[in-house]
Structure 1
């Protein structure tokens, strides 16, 4: 399991501080080994500046005080008096300490501003991405939102799962672009889905309503990739609008549920044809955004399809998503370029509380065409 980012970030200042202290003593040792007249003592200006890269201003001042004391003590031991050269060297160390403290203060202030912006973005996303119930109808559900590297812009990944009169309906999507505009558009799509999913019997009408909501809210180059999924009485229907295909996990195998024909994203008048599957008890379905499909290390993409069953096919759905995140972070060395939304479903089979209304004719007709 990869170490957490917070633990790793917390250890770096400590390592830097210890390294700067060690460098100060090493300089004195080198000067002692080389003998009088060597210029190594003048290098004591380095440790305070070195510590400023990651340490706080207080820690830089500590290193500077140590370096200044060593400079005074060593020059006095060698000459038994303070000379003009030793005074100049000491003044240079004090000046380097002051510059280092200033740099550390500026870096800390900028880091706090970035962290505050990140917290505001996370709060905005949490306000629109509600928690999904762990059991909906005949499905066990787990979801996870993985934030990208520290300081990255907030994104527009979205998901939702609803128990409706027409079965369990789910949405996974990704808004083009980042920042607050993407979050606002994600909020619009989610708000529309939460309404029309309960009102429209035809899943194609749900997609059409979402498309109109996006078209009213964006410019000509903006869009939302999305997959709209319905589970009713053990039958799974997927309408895909330019989104990565869900992965069906069954009996040790993984099947991408590619659409019968490609359809453009929401905002571009998609006419999506349904992909229909008959579920078996224990089947699992992974919904995801393209942040995980595009995650790579040394130019090699994360092998999602190849690893999905080994990671997600056992234990609870919640544990599966945690294992998937750990495997992903190990793969990219904890450096993600994009946020990722994940939803993992498990079909429980007969005997659960989901509605089991008949599948409409248009869905069965499409299945026969396949």
Structure 2
């Protein structure tokens, strides 16, 4: 059985006004009330009616076109009421009323155009955010034996979109992570980041050697970009407590161990993906409680008054407490305070913690086999 719910006509008008519309409406009504009071107190004729056209004009600065029309209609009604209160309506009075109507029509058109533009910008911002989320899937809180958290900090408040990328995958060869930064911004950067991540999510399960993963990613980038485009990247593999890192022109990860912060520089520099990098792995033996921070160059380039954010000096104090998610939240808060809320570049962060070797699971004996013997 279908049930049809009817909406009352006035119910559609009860949608709450936006803050801009409320501000515009409030300012316009205050002005309209003031002019009406002055006009009523004058009493010698309609001298201030033309000024009422300023009310819809003020409303149009912030409010929607519907609010502007409502204010203009109210101003027109008030002007007509004052005109009829005169002993004899003059040509000037009629002109004032016509001016209010004309100004209302013009500013309502302008408010409508501004409103459509604002809605388009909001829709593009929403699409950009959806595109970014489609590229950067949520990771953690646990990937294999590692506790992992990731964070993306956008340099713009309007749209979280850029070329920073990260991923963590549990593979037959251990937990593998990548962090990278595409040259450039916008949809082209997001497109290339999606190509890199799509290729990585496939080859990370297929290649036993991280150097082979780098070669595959380099070919994927070379097929998709111009001569001057590239992707810096650092790839990490944790397997049985052994950490392997290969670096393609990317900021080195930071190892946090017992209060110390150790930059894991590569044995030899290598160019970014797209320039045929030949990488040399760096191998470290992890200890229980070790944490590893992967980040893009937006963190290293964040500065205020010419002074860069002291990542290495503050890393242990900010990242060495609570969960890995707590650590990244503390780092973001300190970073935003350092730059006074103004970042020049997007930042991707990944923090992982090694808890130690996984203990072997104990297999329970079924109750019906307890006490039985083979005979």
Q: Do the two structures share a fold, i.e. TM-score over 0.5?
A: yes
Q: In structure 1, what is the equivalent of residue 348 of structure 2? A: 341
Q: In structure 1, what is the equivalent of residue 224 of structure 2? A: 217
Q: In structure 1, what is the equivalent of residue 286 of structure 2? A: 279
CA drift of 1:154 comes to 3.5
TM-score (norm 2): 0.75
Q: In structure 2, what is the equivalent of residue 186 of structure 1? A: 193
Q: In structure 1, what is the equivalent of residue 90 of structure 2? A: 83
3-state SS of paired residue (2:62): coil
Larger radius of gyration: 2
CA drift of 1:175 comes to 1.7
3-state SS of paired residue (2:134): helix
Q: In structure 1, what is the equivalent of residue 73 of structure 2? A: 65
- C-alpha contact (below 8 Å) 2:324/2:353 kept by paired residues: yes
CA distance in 1, matches of 2:259, 2:20: 42
Aligned length: 344
3-state SS of paired residue (1:99): helix
CA drift of 1:64 comes to 2.5
Match for residue 125 of structure 2 among 118, 125, 130:
118
3-state SS of paired residue (2:235): strand
Structure 1 pair 139–10 and aligned structure 2 pair: CA distance change class (3 A): farther
Q: In structure 2, what is the equivalent of residue 365 of structure 1? A: none
Higher RCO, 1 or 2 (CA under 8 Å, sep at least 6)? 1
CA distance in 2, matches of 1:309, 1:210: 32
CA drift of 1:324 comes to 4.4
The C-alpha deviation readout for 1:260-318, integer Å capped at 9, x for no partner, is: 44432110122334444443333322323344545567777666555544443322223
TM-score (norm 1): 0.75
The C-alpha deviation readout for 1:97-137, integer Å capped at 9, x for no partner, is: 22222122212222333333333344344334333242123
Q: Say whether residues 1:170 and 2:156 are aligned partners.
A: no
Q: Say whether residues 1:234 and 2:234 are aligned partners.
A: no
3-state SS of paired residue (1:281): coil
CA drift of 1:140 comes to 0.4
The C-alpha deviation readout for 1:57-94, integer Å capped at 9, x for no partner, is: 122223323444455556777x6654333332332232
Larger displacement relative to structure 2 (124-133 or 106-115)? 124-133
- C-alpha contact (below 8 Å) 2:49/2:93 kept by paired residues: no
3-state SS of paired residue (2:111): helix
3-state SS of paired residue (2:183): strand
Structure 1 pair 348–22 and aligned structure 2 pair: CA distance change class (3 A): farther
- C-alpha contact (below 8 Å) 1:149/1:334 kept by paired residues: no
Larger displacement relative to structure 2 (111-120 or 164-173)? 111-120
- C-alpha contact (below 8 Å) 1:144/1:341 kept by paired residues: yes
